[in-house]
Amino acid sequence: VLMKSLREKLDRAGAADGKHYLLSVAAPSSGYLLRGMETFQMQKYLDYVNIMSYDLHGAWNEYVGPNAS
């Protein structure tokens, strides 16, 4: 509902001044963190999605892996 509302308001603003306003989101790459987001419903309103795919390894791992902090 939030993304739909934002997209509609940005489209109205763009129609008034002749510009296209981008709507983007930074989303986690973890399925565990994505479980509370309605990703499939909101993607149709977005221009860009940035997947935050860093810090995939950390103190919880027994070894250092790629993209570790």
Which token pair is 32? Answer: 């565990």
H/E stretch holding 24 reads strand 24-28
Q: Give dist(CA 27, CA 49) in Å, integer.
A: 7
Q: Give dist(CA 16, CA 14) in Å, integer.
A: 5
pLDDT digits 0-9 by tens, 2-59? 999 999 999 999 999 999 999 999 988 878 878 877 878 889 999 999 988 776 766 7
Confirm if 23 and 30 have CB atoms less than 8 A apart.
Answer: no
Decide which of 64 and 6 is more confident: 6
H/E stretch holding 40 reads helix 39-42
pLDDT at 69 exceeding the cut of 60: no
Which token pair is 10? Answer: 């940005």
pTM over 0.75? The answer is no
**Per-residue model confidence (pLDDT) at position 37:** 79
**Per-residue model confidence (pLDDT) at position 66:** 67
